[in-house]
Chain A
Protein backbone atom coordinates (compact mmCIF):
# COMPACT_ATOMS: atom_id res chain seq x y z
CA UNK A 1 0.00 0.00 0.00
CA UNK A 2 2.89 2.26 0.94
CA UNK A 3 4.44 1.46 -2.42
CA UNK A 4 1.20 2.36 -4.21
CA UNK A 5 1.07 5.67 -2.36
CA UNK A 6 4.65 6.33 -3.41
CA UNK A 7 3.76 5.67 -7.06
CA UNK A 8 0.70 7.92 -6.82
CA UNK A 9 2.82 10.60 -5.23
CA UNK A 10 5.40 10.41 -8.00
CA UNK A 11 2.73 10.55 -10.68
CA UNK A 12 1.26 13.61 -8.99
CA UNK A 13 4.69 15.23 -8.81
CA UNK A 14 5.24 14.54 -12.49
CA UNK A 15 1.86 15.97 -13.35
CA UNK A 16 2.70 19.09 -11.39
CA UNK A 17 6.11 19.19 -13.06
CA UNK A 18 4.50 19.55 -16.45
CA UNK A 19 1.96 22.11 -15.32
CA UNK A 20 3.76 24.90 -17.13
CA UNK A 21 1.51 24.14 -20.08
CA UNK A 22 -1.82 24.37 -18.33
CA UNK A 23 -4.83 25.49 -20.30
CA UNK A 24 -6.40 27.82 -17.75
CA UNK A 25 -7.01 30.59 -20.25
CA UNK A 26 -7.80 28.51 -23.31
CA UNK A 27 -10.41 30.32 -25.40
CA UNK A 28 -13.14 28.66 -27.45
CA UNK A 29 -12.00 27.66 -30.94
CA UNK A 30 -14.15 30.16 -32.82
CA UNK A 31 -13.71 32.20 -36.00
CA UNK A 32 -12.85 35.18 -33.82
CA UNK A 33 -10.16 33.18 -31.96
CA UNK A 34 -8.66 31.99 -35.24
CA UNK A 35 -8.71 35.55 -36.61
CA UNK A 36 -6.82 36.74 -33.54
CA UNK A 37 -4.46 33.79 -33.97
CA UNK A 38 -3.88 34.75 -37.60
CA UNK A 39 -2.78 38.24 -36.62
CA UNK A 40 -0.29 36.77 -34.13
CA UNK A 41 0.83 34.07 -36.58
CA UNK A 42 1.57 36.62 -39.28
CA UNK A 43 3.53 38.65 -36.78
CA UNK A 44 5.56 35.84 -35.23
CA UNK A 45 5.38 32.54 -37.16
CA UNK A 46 5.03 33.50 -40.83
CA UNK A 47 8.72 34.14 -41.41
CA UNK A 48 9.54 30.44 -41.06
CA UNK A 49 6.20 28.67 -41.56
CA UNK A 50 4.97 30.84 -44.44
CA UNK A 51 1.73 32.71 -44.99
CA UNK A 52 -0.10 29.53 -45.95
CA UNK A 53 1.52 27.41 -43.24
CA UNK A 54 3.45 25.24 -45.68
CA UNK A 55 6.79 25.74 -43.95
CA UNK A 56 8.00 27.91 -46.80
CA UNK A 57 8.44 31.27 -45.12
CA UNK A 58 11.19 33.63 -46.32
CA UNK A 59 13.42 32.90 -43.31
CA UNK A 60 13.42 29.24 -44.35
CA UNK A 61 15.96 30.06 -47.04
CA UNK A 62 18.43 31.20 -44.41
CA UNK A 63 17.89 28.05 -42.34
CA UNK A 64 19.37 25.98 -45.17
CA UNK A 65 17.06 25.22 -48.03
CA UNK A 66 18.18 21.61 -48.29
CA UNK A 67 18.93 20.91 -44.64
CA UNK A 68 16.73 19.09 -42.20
CA UNK A 69 14.72 19.92 -40.25
CA UNK A 70 12.68 22.31 -42.35
CA UNK A 71 10.04 24.50 -40.68
CA UNK A 72 6.89 22.44 -40.12
CA UNK A 73 4.39 22.28 -42.98
CA UNK A 74 1.10 22.56 -41.14
CA UNK A 75 -0.94 21.60 -44.21
CA UNK A 76 0.57 18.07 -44.26
CA UNK A 77 -1.00 16.99 -40.98
CA UNK A 78 2.21 15.36 -39.73
CA UNK A 79 3.54 16.58 -36.38
CA UNK A 80 6.66 15.44 -34.55
CA UNK A 81 5.91 16.52 -31.02
CA UNK A 82 2.77 14.81 -29.79
CA UNK A 83 1.41 12.87 -26.88
CA UNK A 84 -0.74 10.82 -29.29
CA UNK A 85 -0.09 7.53 -31.12
CA UNK A 86 2.14 7.50 -34.20
CA UNK A 87 0.35 9.00 -37.18
CA UNK A 88 -2.29 10.75 -35.10
CA UNK A 89 -2.69 14.49 -34.91
CA UNK A 90 -1.38 16.30 -31.83
CA UNK A 91 -3.67 17.49 -29.06
CA UNK A 92 -4.17 21.20 -28.52
CA UNK A 93 -1.98 20.85 -25.43
CA UNK A 94 0.82 19.37 -27.57
CA UNK A 95 0.78 22.36 -29.92
CA UNK A 96 0.59 24.73 -26.95
CA UNK A 97 3.59 23.01 -25.34
CA UNK A 98 5.72 23.34 -28.49
CA UNK A 99 4.83 27.01 -28.89
CA UNK A 100 5.55 27.63 -25.22
CA UNK A 101 8.80 25.73 -24.92
CA UNK A 102 10.12 26.09 -28.46
CA UNK A 103 12.52 23.57 -29.99
CA UNK A 104 16.12 23.74 -28.74
CA UNK A 105 18.42 24.87 -31.51
CA UNK A 106 15.63 25.56 -33.98
CA UNK A 107 12.46 27.31 -32.82
CA UNK A 108 12.37 29.96 -30.11
CA UNK A 109 10.12 29.73 -27.08
CA UNK A 110 7.08 31.96 -27.30
CA UNK A 111 6.44 31.86 -23.56
CA UNK A 112 6.66 35.65 -23.61
CA UNK A 113 3.28 35.74 -25.34
CA UNK A 114 0.28 35.56 -23.05
CA UNK A 115 -1.31 32.15 -22.62
CA UNK A 116 -4.42 33.44 -24.39
CA UNK A 117 -2.30 34.55 -27.36
CA UNK A 118 -0.60 31.14 -27.59
CA UNK A 119 -3.96 29.39 -27.56
CA UNK A 120 -5.15 31.70 -30.35
CA UNK A 121 -2.12 30.66 -32.41
CA UNK A 122 -2.94 27.00 -31.70
CA UNK A 123 -6.46 27.55 -33.07
CA UNK A 124 -5.10 29.21 -36.22
CA UNK A 125 -2.40 26.58 -36.83
CA UNK A 126 -5.07 23.87 -36.67
CA UNK A 127 -7.08 25.64 -39.37
CA UNK A 128 -4.36 24.80 -41.94
CA UNK A 129 -5.21 21.09 -41.86
CA UNK A 130 -8.83 19.94 -42.29
CA UNK A 131 -8.19 16.72 -40.35
CA UNK A 132 -8.36 18.74 -37.14
CA UNK A 133 -12.10 19.21 -37.78
CA UNK A 134 -12.82 15.48 -38.12
CA UNK A 135 -10.27 13.69 -35.94
CA UNK A 136 -10.14 13.65 -32.15
CA UNK A 137 -6.57 13.17 -30.97
CA UNK A 138 -6.32 11.15 -27.76
CA UNK A 139 -3.06 11.22 -25.77
CA UNK A 140 -1.31 8.02 -24.81
CA UNK A 141 -1.30 7.65 -21.04
CA UNK A 142 2.05 8.06 -19.28
CA UNK A 143 1.55 5.00 -17.13
CA UNK A 144 3.83 4.02 -14.29
CA UNK A 145 6.52 6.06 -12.64
CA UNK A 146 10.29 6.08 -12.27
CA UNK A 147 11.66 3.28 -10.13
CA UNK A 148 13.14 4.67 -6.91
CA UNK A 149 16.02 2.14 -7.06
CA UNK A 150 18.10 3.98 -9.65
CA UNK A 151 20.83 1.34 -10.11
CA UNK A 152 18.31 -1.39 -10.93
CA UNK A 153 16.42 0.95 -13.19
CA UNK A 154 19.58 1.82 -15.11
CA UNK A 155 20.44 -1.85 -15.55
CA UNK A 156 17.01 -2.55 -17.03
CA UNK A 157 17.19 0.60 -19.14
CA UNK A 158 20.57 -0.45 -20.54
CA UNK A 159 19.19 -3.88 -21.44
CA UNK A 160 16.21 -2.24 -23.19
CA UNK A 161 18.53 0.14 -25.07
CA UNK A 162 20.27 -2.93 -26.46
CA UNK A 163 17.22 -5.09 -27.16
CA UNK A 164 15.37 -2.19 -28.83
CA UNK A 165 18.48 -1.64 -30.97
CA UNK A 166 18.59 2.06 -30.14
CA UNK A 167 22.33 1.85 -30.92
CA UNK A 168 21.50 1.29 -34.59
CA UNK A 169 20.86 5.01 -34.97
CA UNK A 170 22.07 6.58 -31.72
CA UNK A 171 25.29 4.56 -31.31
CA UNK A 172 26.51 2.33 -28.51
CA UNK A 173 27.37 5.30 -26.31
CA UNK A 174 24.40 7.35 -27.47
CA UNK A 175 26.41 9.92 -29.40
CA UNK A 176 24.12 9.85 -32.42
CA UNK A 177 26.72 7.94 -34.42
CA UNK A 178 25.10 4.54 -35.00
CA UNK A 179 25.87 2.62 -38.21
CA UNK A 180 22.66 3.67 -40.00
CA UNK A 181 23.33 7.32 -39.15
CA UNK A 182 26.94 7.08 -40.28
CA UNK A 183 25.85 5.47 -43.54
CA UNK A 184 23.71 8.56 -44.21
CA UNK A 185 20.60 6.42 -44.56
CA UNK A 186 18.33 8.35 -42.19
CA UNK A 187 15.94 10.61 -44.11
CA UNK A 188 13.06 12.80 -43.02
CA UNK A 189 9.63 12.97 -44.68
CA UNK A 190 11.01 15.38 -47.29
CA UNK A 191 13.81 12.99 -48.20
CA UNK A 192 16.41 15.21 -46.55
CA UNK A 193 19.24 13.56 -44.66
CA UNK A 194 18.73 13.64 -40.91
CA UNK A 195 20.96 12.95 -37.93
CA UNK A 196 19.99 10.81 -34.95
CA UNK A 197 19.93 12.78 -31.71
CA UNK A 198 23.13 12.87 -29.68
CA UNK A 199 21.78 11.42 -26.45
CA UNK A 200 24.74 12.70 -24.49
CA UNK A 201 23.47 16.23 -25.04
CA UNK A 202 19.94 16.22 -23.62
CA UNK A 203 19.80 20.00 -23.58
CA UNK A 204 19.45 19.71 -27.36
CA UNK A 205 16.53 17.25 -27.27
CA UNK A 206 13.84 18.77 -29.45
CA UNK A 207 10.95 17.15 -27.59
CA UNK A 208 12.27 17.97 -24.11
CA UNK A 209 14.69 16.17 -21.80
CA UNK A 210 12.72 15.65 -18.60
CA UNK A 211 11.78 12.07 -17.75
CA UNK A 212 8.13 12.54 -18.79
CA UNK A 213 9.34 14.18 -22.03
CA UNK A 214 11.58 11.20 -22.79
CA UNK A 215 8.86 8.67 -21.97
CA UNK A 216 6.45 10.56 -24.21
CA UNK A 217 8.96 10.55 -27.09
CA UNK A 218 9.60 6.81 -26.68
CA UNK A 219 5.88 6.08 -26.73
CA UNK A 220 4.90 8.35 -29.61
CA UNK A 221 7.96 8.42 -31.84
CA UNK A 222 8.67 11.54 -33.88
CA UNK A 223 6.47 11.56 -36.98
CA UNK A 224 8.20 12.70 -40.14
CA UNK A 225 11.50 11.24 -38.92
CA UNK A 226 12.81 7.67 -38.67
CA UNK A 227 12.31 7.67 -34.85
CA UNK A 228 9.56 5.07 -34.36
CA UNK A 229 7.00 4.61 -31.63
CA UNK A 230 7.80 1.96 -29.01
CA UNK A 231 4.34 2.16 -27.46
CA UNK A 232 3.36 -1.42 -28.28
CA UNK A 233 6.51 -2.82 -26.70
CA UNK A 234 6.74 -0.46 -23.73
CA UNK A 235 3.25 -1.28 -22.56
CA UNK A 236 4.40 -4.75 -21.43
CA UNK A 237 5.65 -3.48 -18.10
CA UNK A 238 4.83 -0.11 -16.60
CA UNK A 239 8.38 0.68 -15.51
CA UNK A 240 10.04 -0.16 -18.85
CA UNK A 241 9.59 3.27 -20.41
CA UNK A 242 10.81 4.98 -17.24
CA UNK A 243 13.81 2.66 -16.94
CA UNK A 244 14.83 3.39 -20.52
CA UNK A 245 14.31 7.11 -19.98
CA UNK A 246 16.47 6.96 -16.83
CA UNK A 247 19.19 5.26 -18.83
CA UNK A 248 19.02 7.87 -21.60
CA UNK A 249 19.46 10.60 -19.00
CA UNK A 250 22.41 8.73 -17.50
CA UNK A 251 24.21 8.71 -20.87
CA UNK A 252 25.05 12.33 -20.26
CA UNK A 253 26.87 14.19 -17.56
CA UNK A 254 24.84 17.28 -18.43
CA UNK A 255 22.71 18.67 -15.65
CA UNK A 256 19.15 18.41 -16.84
CA UNK A 257 16.32 20.23 -15.07
Chain B
Protein backbone atom coordinates (compact mmCIF):
# COMPACT_ATOMS: atom_id res chain seq x y z
CA UNK B 1 0.00 0.00 0.00
CA UNK B 2 2.81 2.31 0.96
CA UNK B 3 4.60 1.52 -2.31
CA UNK B 4 1.50 2.38 -4.35
CA UNK B 5 1.16 5.71 -2.51
CA UNK B 6 4.82 6.50 -3.17
CA UNK B 7 4.40 5.61 -6.85
CA UNK B 8 1.39 7.94 -7.21
CA UNK B 9 3.28 10.72 -5.41
CA UNK B 10 6.20 10.41 -7.84
CA UNK B 11 3.85 10.49 -10.85
CA UNK B 12 2.05 13.57 -9.50
CA UNK B 13 5.34 15.30 -8.84
CA UNK B 14 6.46 14.73 -12.45
CA UNK B 15 3.13 15.97 -13.80
CA UNK B 16 3.44 19.13 -11.69
CA UNK B 17 6.97 19.72 -13.01
CA UNK B 18 5.77 19.34 -16.60
CA UNK B 19 2.84 21.68 -15.99
CA UNK B 20 5.15 24.25 -14.43
CA UNK B 21 7.42 24.13 -17.47
CA UNK B 22 4.50 24.47 -19.85
CA UNK B 23 3.18 27.45 -17.90
CA UNK B 24 6.63 29.01 -17.89
CA UNK B 25 6.71 28.87 -21.69
CA UNK B 26 9.41 29.73 -24.16
CA UNK B 27 10.36 32.74 -26.21
CA UNK B 28 12.88 33.91 -28.75
CA UNK B 29 15.94 36.12 -28.47
CA UNK B 30 16.81 38.45 -31.35
CA UNK B 31 20.35 39.69 -31.27
CA UNK B 32 21.83 42.53 -33.33
CA UNK B 33 25.53 43.16 -33.21
CA UNK B 34 27.08 46.39 -34.45
CA UNK B 35 30.60 47.73 -34.81
CA UNK B 36 31.15 51.45 -34.34
CA UNK B 37 34.42 52.74 -35.66
CA UNK B 38 36.80 52.54 -38.54
CA UNK B 39 37.23 49.09 -39.95
CA UNK B 40 40.97 48.39 -40.01
CA UNK B 41 42.40 47.64 -43.44
CA UNK B 42 42.98 43.97 -44.17
CA UNK B 43 46.36 42.55 -43.27
CA UNK B 44 48.36 41.56 -46.31
CA UNK B 45 50.02 38.16 -46.01
CA UNK B 46 52.45 36.93 -48.65
CA UNK B 47 51.78 33.30 -49.47
CA UNK B 48 54.91 31.22 -49.70
CA UNK B 49 53.31 27.81 -50.23
CA UNK B 50 50.85 26.42 -52.77
CA UNK B 51 50.20 29.72 -54.63
CA UNK B 52 48.30 27.85 -57.36
CA UNK B 53 45.57 27.08 -54.79
CA UNK B 54 46.03 29.75 -52.15
CA UNK B 55 47.03 32.66 -54.38
CA UNK B 56 50.15 34.76 -53.93
CA UNK B 57 48.70 37.17 -51.39
CA UNK B 58 46.07 36.73 -48.70
CA UNK B 59 44.16 39.71 -47.36
CA UNK B 60 43.01 38.83 -43.87
CA UNK B 61 40.01 40.78 -42.71
CA UNK B 62 38.93 39.69 -39.25
CA UNK B 63 36.16 42.30 -38.86
CA UNK B 64 33.40 41.89 -41.45
CA UNK B 65 31.02 44.83 -41.29
CA UNK B 66 28.13 45.86 -43.52
CA UNK B 67 28.45 49.53 -44.22
CA UNK B 68 27.25 52.07 -43.48
CA UNK B 69 25.08 50.51 -40.76
CA UNK B 70 27.99 48.76 -39.05
CA UNK B 71 26.32 45.36 -38.75
CA UNK B 72 28.90 42.82 -37.67
CA UNK B 73 29.10 39.32 -39.16
CA UNK B 74 30.47 36.19 -37.47
CA UNK B 75 29.87 37.12 -33.86
CA UNK B 76 28.87 34.08 -31.82
CA UNK B 77 25.95 34.48 -29.45
CA UNK B 78 25.13 32.31 -26.46
CA UNK B 79 22.75 32.25 -23.50
CA UNK B 80 25.13 32.00 -20.55
CA UNK B 81 23.33 31.09 -17.37
CA UNK B 82 21.32 28.13 -18.55
CA UNK B 83 21.94 24.43 -18.32
CA UNK B 84 20.64 21.66 -20.50
CA UNK B 85 17.79 19.91 -18.68
CA UNK B 86 17.76 17.00 -21.09
CA UNK B 87 14.15 17.78 -22.05
CA UNK B 88 14.80 20.51 -24.61
CA UNK B 89 15.22 19.93 -28.34
CA UNK B 90 18.90 19.25 -28.86
CA UNK B 91 20.95 20.57 -31.76
CA UNK B 92 23.54 17.80 -31.79
CA UNK B 93 24.33 16.96 -35.37
CA UNK B 94 27.15 16.46 -37.82
CA UNK B 95 28.82 19.79 -38.56
CA UNK B 96 31.10 20.06 -41.57
CA UNK B 97 34.28 22.11 -41.37
CA UNK B 98 35.89 22.48 -44.80
CA UNK B 99 39.41 23.34 -45.84
CA UNK B 100 38.43 25.32 -48.92
CA UNK B 101 40.55 27.74 -50.96
CA UNK B 102 43.09 27.78 -48.16
CA UNK B 103 40.61 28.97 -45.57
CA UNK B 104 38.26 27.33 -43.09
CA UNK B 105 34.60 27.31 -44.00
CA UNK B 106 32.66 28.30 -42.01
CA UNK B 107 35.10 30.66 -40.37
CA UNK B 108 33.25 30.51 -37.04
CA UNK B 109 30.96 27.68 -36.01
CA UNK B 110 28.85 27.36 -32.89
CA UNK B 111 27.61 23.86 -32.08
CA UNK B 112 26.20 21.84 -29.20
CA UNK B 113 28.41 19.39 -27.34
CA UNK B 114 27.70 15.88 -28.51
CA UNK B 115 27.82 17.03 -32.13
CA UNK B 116 30.27 15.45 -34.53
CA UNK B 117 32.75 17.71 -36.25
CA UNK B 118 33.47 16.41 -39.73
CA UNK B 119 36.61 17.84 -41.30
CA UNK B 120 37.09 17.71 -45.06
CA UNK B 121 39.63 19.02 -47.55
CA UNK B 122 38.24 20.40 -50.81
CA UNK B 123 41.60 21.76 -52.01
CA UNK B 124 44.14 20.07 -54.24
CA UNK B 125 46.86 20.71 -51.67
CA UNK B 126 47.45 19.08 -48.31
CA UNK B 127 46.31 20.84 -45.16
CA UNK B 128 46.76 19.81 -41.59
CA UNK B 129 43.75 20.74 -39.53
CA UNK B 130 44.94 21.39 -35.99
CA UNK B 131 42.26 22.19 -33.42
CA UNK B 132 43.04 23.05 -29.82
CA UNK B 133 40.78 23.48 -26.81
CA UNK B 134 42.51 25.59 -24.16
CA UNK B 135 45.91 23.90 -23.86
CA UNK B 136 44.76 20.50 -25.08
CA UNK B 137 44.87 19.21 -28.64
CA UNK B 138 41.36 18.32 -29.81
CA UNK B 139 42.59 16.89 -33.08
CA UNK B 140 45.55 17.35 -35.41
CA UNK B 141 45.04 15.49 -38.66
CA UNK B 142 46.74 15.46 -42.04
CA UNK B 143 44.13 16.24 -44.68
CA UNK B 144 45.75 14.89 -47.81
CA UNK B 145 44.46 15.61 -51.31
CA UNK B 146 41.33 13.59 -52.11
CA UNK B 147 41.43 12.00 -48.64
CA UNK B 148 38.27 11.02 -46.85
CA UNK B 149 36.74 13.31 -44.18
CA UNK B 150 37.76 12.85 -40.56
CA UNK B 151 35.07 12.99 -37.87
CA UNK B 152 35.32 13.48 -34.12
CA UNK B 153 32.70 14.04 -31.45
CA UNK B 154 32.94 17.32 -29.54
CA UNK B 155 32.48 16.38 -25.89
CA UNK B 156 33.65 19.42 -23.94
CA UNK B 157 32.13 22.92 -23.99
CA UNK B 158 34.25 25.98 -24.71
CA UNK B 159 36.15 27.75 -27.44
CA UNK B 160 38.18 25.73 -29.92
CA UNK B 161 40.83 27.35 -32.14
CA UNK B 162 41.29 25.92 -35.63
CA UNK B 163 44.60 26.30 -37.46
CA UNK B 164 46.60 24.81 -40.29
CA UNK B 165 50.28 24.36 -39.46
CA UNK B 166 51.22 24.32 -43.15
CA UNK B 167 49.34 27.52 -44.02
CA UNK B 168 49.67 29.75 -41.00
CA UNK B 169 47.23 32.35 -42.32
CA UNK B 170 44.35 29.87 -42.00
CA UNK B 171 42.35 30.14 -38.79
CA UNK B 172 38.86 29.54 -37.53
CA UNK B 173 36.88 29.05 -34.33
CA UNK B 174 34.38 26.56 -32.98
CA UNK B 175 32.30 27.42 -29.91
CA UNK B 176 30.79 24.39 -28.20
CA UNK B 177 27.75 24.95 -25.99
CA UNK B 178 26.28 22.50 -23.49
CA UNK B 179 22.77 23.62 -24.47
CA UNK B 180 21.03 24.45 -27.76
CA UNK B 181 20.65 28.20 -27.10
CA UNK B 182 23.30 29.75 -29.35
CA UNK B 183 23.71 31.37 -32.76
CA UNK B 184 26.03 33.30 -35.04
CA UNK B 185 25.38 36.66 -36.66
CA UNK B 186 24.78 36.84 -40.41
CA UNK B 187 25.70 39.58 -42.90
CA UNK B 188 23.11 41.84 -41.27
CA UNK B 189 24.63 41.36 -37.83
CA UNK B 190 21.59 39.36 -36.73
CA UNK B 191 21.09 36.09 -34.94
CA UNK B 192 17.90 34.57 -33.57
CA UNK B 193 17.78 31.97 -30.82
CA UNK B 194 14.41 30.25 -30.49
CA UNK B 195 12.67 28.16 -27.81
CA UNK B 196 14.59 29.79 -24.98
CA UNK B 197 12.92 29.14 -21.60
CA UNK B 198 11.06 32.27 -20.52
CA UNK B 199 12.68 34.25 -17.73
CA UNK B 200 15.80 36.24 -17.00
CA UNK B 201 19.03 35.30 -18.71
CA UNK B 202 22.51 36.59 -19.34
CA UNK B 203 23.41 36.58 -23.00
CA UNK B 204 26.90 37.02 -24.37
CA UNK B 205 28.38 37.88 -27.74
CA UNK B 206 31.92 36.89 -28.66
CA UNK B 207 33.96 38.08 -31.60
CA UNK B 208 37.45 36.84 -32.42
CA UNK B 209 39.02 40.31 -32.52
CA UNK B 210 36.61 42.50 -30.59
CA UNK B 211 36.17 40.32 -27.53
CA UNK B 212 33.05 39.67 -25.48
CA UNK B 213 30.02 41.70 -24.41
CA UNK B 214 27.23 40.59 -22.11
CA UNK B 215 23.68 41.72 -21.43
CA UNK B 216 20.89 40.73 -19.08
CA UNK B 217 17.57 40.07 -20.81
CA UNK B 218 14.09 38.91 -19.89
CA UNK B 219 12.51 36.46 -22.30
CA UNK B 220 8.70 36.74 -22.19
CA UNK B 221 6.59 33.57 -22.61
CA UNK B 222 5.66 33.21 -26.31
CA UNK B 223 7.29 36.57 -27.00
CA UNK B 224 10.62 37.93 -28.08
CA UNK B 225 13.45 39.71 -26.37
CA UNK B 226 15.80 41.87 -28.38
CA UNK B 227 19.36 42.72 -27.46
CA UNK B 228 21.58 45.08 -29.42
CA UNK B 229 25.30 44.95 -28.80
CA UNK B 230 27.78 47.59 -29.92
CA UNK B 231 31.50 46.99 -30.14
CA UNK B 232 33.55 50.16 -30.32
CA UNK B 233 36.82 50.85 -32.05
CA UNK B 234 38.50 51.75 -28.76
CA UNK B 235 37.80 48.28 -27.36
CA UNK B 236 34.77 49.25 -25.31
CA UNK B 237 31.18 48.39 -25.98
CA UNK B 238 27.67 48.38 -24.59
CA UNK B 239 24.30 46.74 -25.06
CA UNK B 240 20.62 47.71 -25.17
CA UNK B 241 17.72 45.37 -24.56
CA UNK B 242 13.99 45.33 -25.14
CA UNK B 243 11.18 42.85 -24.48
CA UNK B 244 8.05 42.37 -26.53
Contacts and interface: CB of A to CB of B under 8 A. Distances in A.
Interface string A218-247: 000101101111111100000000000000
A77 B147 contact: no
A73 interface: yes
A186 B98 CA distance: 22
Contact of B49 (A179, A189, A227): A179
Highest count of chain A CB atoms <10 Å: which of B130, B131, B136, B150: B136
Contact of B147 (A189, A221, A233): A233
A221 B144 contact: no
Contact of A163 (B130, B135, B144, B166): B144
Q: How large is the interface on A (under 10, 10 to 19, 20 to 34, 35 or more residues)?
A: 20 to 34
A217 interface: no
B48 A179 contact: yes
Nearest to B145: A163
Given A232-B150, A233-B144, 11 more contacts: A86-B141, A87-B152, A163-B145, A179-B48, A187-B165, A223-B137, A223-B140, A224-B137, A226-B130, A229-B142, A232-B141
A223 B137 CA distance: 6
A183 B139 contact: no
Contact of B140 (A179, A186, A226, A233): A226
A73 B141 CA distance: 22
Interface of A: 73, 76-78, 85-87, 163-165, 168, 179-180, 183, 185-187, 189, 221, 223-224, 226-233
Contacts of B145: 163
- Chain A contact residues, majority secondary structure: loop
A233 B142 contact: yes
B128 interface: yes
A228 B130 contact: yes
Given A179-B48, A228-B165, A232-B147, A221 B141 contact: yes
A47 B165 CA distance: 32
Contact of B48 (A78, A183, A224, A233): A183
Task: Say which size band chain B's interface belongs to.
Answer: 20 to 34
Nearest to A80: B137
A163 B145 CA distance: 8
Contact of B141 (A76, A168, A180, A228): A228
B147 A180 contact: no
Contacts of A231: 141
Given A179-B49, A232-B147, A86 B140 contact: yes
Contacts of A189: 132, 135, 137
Given A168-B166, A179-B49, A183-B48, A229 B140 contact: yes
A163 B168 CA distance: 20
B136 A185 contact: no
B87 interface: no
A228 B165 CA distance: 9
